[in-house]
Amino acid sequence: MTRRLFPLASLCVLCGHALAAAGDECGGALRAAKPNVIFILADDQGWGDARFAGHPYVKTPNLDRLAAEGTWFKQFYVAATVCSPSRCAFMTSHYPARHEIHGHFADHALNAARHMPDWLDPSTVTVARLLRGAGYATAHFGKWHLGNGAGAPAPGEYGFDVSRVVNGNGPALGEKEPAPSGAGKKRPEQTDPYFRAKSTAMIVDAAIEFITAHKDRPFYVNAWTLLPHAPLKPTPEQLAVYEGLAPRADDPAFGTWMQKYLAEAKDLKSQMQVFCASLTDLDTQVGRLLRTLDALELSERTLVFFSSDNGPEDYRIGNAANAGVGSTGPLRARKRSMYEGGIRTFGLVRWPGRVAAGRVDETSVIAGVDWLPTVCALAGVAVPESVRPDGEDVSDIWLGAPRARRTPLYWEWLFRVWGDEYQPPMLAVRDGPWKLFVNHDGGGARLFNIPEDSAERRDVAAEHPDVVKSLSAKALTWQKSLPPSAARDDAAATRAPIDGPRRAAKAKSSAQAKRPGTAR
């Protein structure tokens, strides 16, 4: 009997090992199906502002590491030319005009002058709310800019368990305990002259604390930096890294648009030193975050996405001389413009073992409006039909299967653009290789073949009237699907962009009126 039972017992043990192994595989598959997600969003970082992207001066070893360990999607687009509407699209998968967010959120007088609400409606379904409902721990650290001031909801009302913010209500970045309601306590950014220079470290400190506390369950973290947005004031230690830098405006690493622009800078040496010092510290803090994932053995279970909210600032803006030397590489224009330099930003995705390492995708067209459906798909979270995303699930593209977009991308910008050569008509559409600009009345069409002309130097509208007709119809049909807006009516009636900041300054009698030409 013993001789008979021994093989049976051995078989049971072997089966037990097999089942355990299968369980481990299933558990691993489950973890892979619910990745941790870290979304690092820089503020006003240009498409060329990293060493891996060809910048000749800035040191970014940790962003270079992200690119080497992940995939760089070179045709990644944000949904707007400035911060608040771009962030709205990431959070909601909606074009920001659907929420009447046409520009950045400011004080209530300026919002009213541009016919905008004072904040994103907190009942809006967000990616954080959907993931939290599926068991994720959620956090937002850093710049918010989806509404602040009297009455504005804090990030917790949009689906975040924990937050520390700037440009928003709720607990402030850099404070251990939030001030009691109505206490009038100054926030840290109002008291430390080097707050912005240290802010990325504070954001990463908070993210590391949260990740460590939630390492045994899926988590979603927004780490949205304040840099390299103006004003920039690096610490002496940060600035010392670039003490000997002697930049050239005609450096061949810059495209022709950038070379012309930098040649007119007031003091390129000092401006570039300050800019690079600020960006390198951001990079240093990203490195700390990556090393923490390694130390906690979370790297293979964590998807890291890095982008920027729009193109780089213009040095003609009052407080942005230093921030204004950010690079668009070969692309035309800058922040506030719907030309490529204003809306094409980094699309870096790292997920070891799932997203190809060291891959550069030159052809796939993906966008900020795709963020919500894509992350939800990877997390196994259903997107309610009521959300009606404007973006699409591009998880297959992220995981290595390039394809054409199923839907065009659209933009609208109603306000001023600095630089006459950077002011296109007020609607834009990207469909296949084509990008069309057109006015609300259907006139003024400009057409570019982006894969062949990423610098947008050659308008080919006259050569392709059929494409102009088709894309104009799409752009105008899309525009008619948006909620009515007095801002759009004014802009369309004058066939010229509304200078919203100047109108608001005239309308506002408070001493807190924002000076036109100050970056926000």
pLDDT digits (tens, 9 = 90+) for 413-430: 999 999 989 999 999 999
Q: Are 461 and 491 in contact (CB under 8 A)?
A: no
**Would 25 be classed as within a structural domain?**
no
How confident is the model at residue 494, as a pLDDT? 66
Assess whether pLDDT exceeds 60 at residue 26. Answer: no
How far is Cα 131 from Cα 137, in angstroms, rounded to an integer? 8
Give the DSSP letter of residue 124: S
Q: Specify if 504 maps to a domain.
A: no
- Which is more confident, 520 or 171? 171
Q: What is the mean pLDDT of residues 294-318?
A: 97
What pLDDT, on a 0 to 100 scale, did the predictor assign at position 503? 38
d(CA 431, CA 33): 31
The residue whose two tokens read 């509208």 is 461
Q: Are 394 and 374 in contact (CB under 8 A)?
A: yes
- pLDDT tens digits, one per residue of 342-377: 999 999 999 999 999 999 999 999 999 999 999 999
Please name the helix (run of DSSP H) or strand (run of DSSP E) that holds residue 487, with its range, or none.
Answer: helix 486-494
Residue 498 clears pLDDT 70, i.e. is over it: no
- Report how far Cα 393 is from the mean position of its chain's Cα atoms: 17
What's the whole-number mean pLDDT along residues 325-345?
A: 98
pLDDT number for residue 382: 97
Q: DSSP string covering 367-387, please?
A: EGGGHHHHHHHHHT-PPPGGG
DSSP state of 244: T
Q: Is residue 338 part of a domain?
A: yes
**How far is it, in rounded angstroms, from Cα 497 to Cα 379?**
41
For residue 103, give its domain range: 33-407
Residue 293 pLDDT more than 60? yes
Residue 243 in any domain: the answer is yes
- Do β-strands 434-438 and 427-431 pair in parallel, antiparallel, or remain unpaired? antiparallel
Cβ contact 89:78 at 8 Å: yes
Q: Is residue 136 part of a domain?
A: yes
- Percentage of the chain surpassing pLDDT 70? 87
Q: What's the pLDDT band for 175 if we cut at 50, 70, 90?
A: confident
SS (H, E, C) 167-204: CCCCCECCCCCCCCCCCCCCCHHHCCCCHHHHHHHHHH
The answer on pLDDT for 31 being more than 90 is: no
CA–CA distance, 170 with 156 (Å, rounded to integer): 8
Give the C-alpha separation, 175 to 264, whole Å. 41
According to the model, what pLDDT value does residue 189 have? 87
pLDDT score of 496: 57
- Whether pLDDT at 493 is above 90: no
Task: Give per-residue pLDDT as tens, 111-165.
Answer: 999 999 999 999 999 999 999 999 999 999 999 999 999 999 999 999 999 999 9
In this predicted structure, the answer to whether residue 18 has a pLDDT above a threshold of 80 is: no
Does the pLDDT at position 8 exceed 90?
no
Q: Which of 90, 72, 35, 51 is nearest to 349 (CA)?
A: 72
* Tokens 């950010």, residue located: 326
What rounded mean pLDDT belongs to the chain? 90
* pLDDT score recorded for residue 185: 74
pLDDT digits 0-9 by tens, 369-396: 999 999 999 999 999 999 999 999 999 9
**Interval 295-321 mean pLDDT:** 97
Between the alpha carbon of residue 320 and those of residues 25, 28, 48, 326, the distances in Å are 52, 48, 18, 10
Q: Is residue 366 a contact partner of residue 397, using CB atoms and an 8 Å limit?
A: yes
- Give me the pLDDT at residue 11, please: 35
On whether the CB atoms of residues 174 and 211 are closer than 8 A, the answer is no
The percent of residues in the chain predicted with pLDDT above 90, rounded, is: 84
* Amino acid code (one letter) for 38: I
Instruction: Specify the CATH number for the domain of residue 307.
Output: 3.40.720.10
pLDDT value at position 490? 82
Q: Domain count of the chain?
A: 1
| C-alpha distances out from residue 86 to 106, 115, 127, 398, 411, Å | 15, 18, 14, 21, 11
How far apart (Å, rounded) are the C-alpha atoms in residues 305 and 250?
32
Which pLDDT value is given to residue 169? 96
Residue 513 pLDDT exceeds 60: no
Is the per-residue pLDDT at 495 higher than 90? no
pLDDT in tens, 427-446: 999 999 999 999 999 999 99
CA 467 – CA 270 distance, rounded (Å): 46
* Contact of 497 with 491, CB cutoff 8 Å: yes
Peptide bond into 231 cis (omega under 30): yes
Which are the contacts of 370, defined by CB distance < 8 A and separation ≥ 6?
93, 391, 392, 393, 394
Mean pLDDT of 271-288: 98
In a domain, 206, yes or no: yes
Report CA-CA distances (Å) from 4 to 8, 9, 15. Answer: 7, 9, 17
pLDDT at 85 over 70: yes
Distance CA 84, CA 447 (A): 27
| Helix runs in 250-267, H state only | 256-263
Is residue 482, in this structure, part of any structural domain at all? no
Over residues 189-211, the pLDDT tens digits come to 888 999 999 999 999 999 999 99
Q: Given this model, what pLDDT does residue 491 score?
A: 84
Q: Where are the alpha helices (DSSP H) in 93-194?
A: 108-113, 127-133
Write out the two tokens for 394: 């591009």
C-alpha to C-alpha distance for 410 and 77, rounded to whole angstroms = 10
Contact 188, 208 (CB under 8 A): no
Nearest to 367 by CA among 94, 127, 139: 94
Residue 477 included in any domain:
no
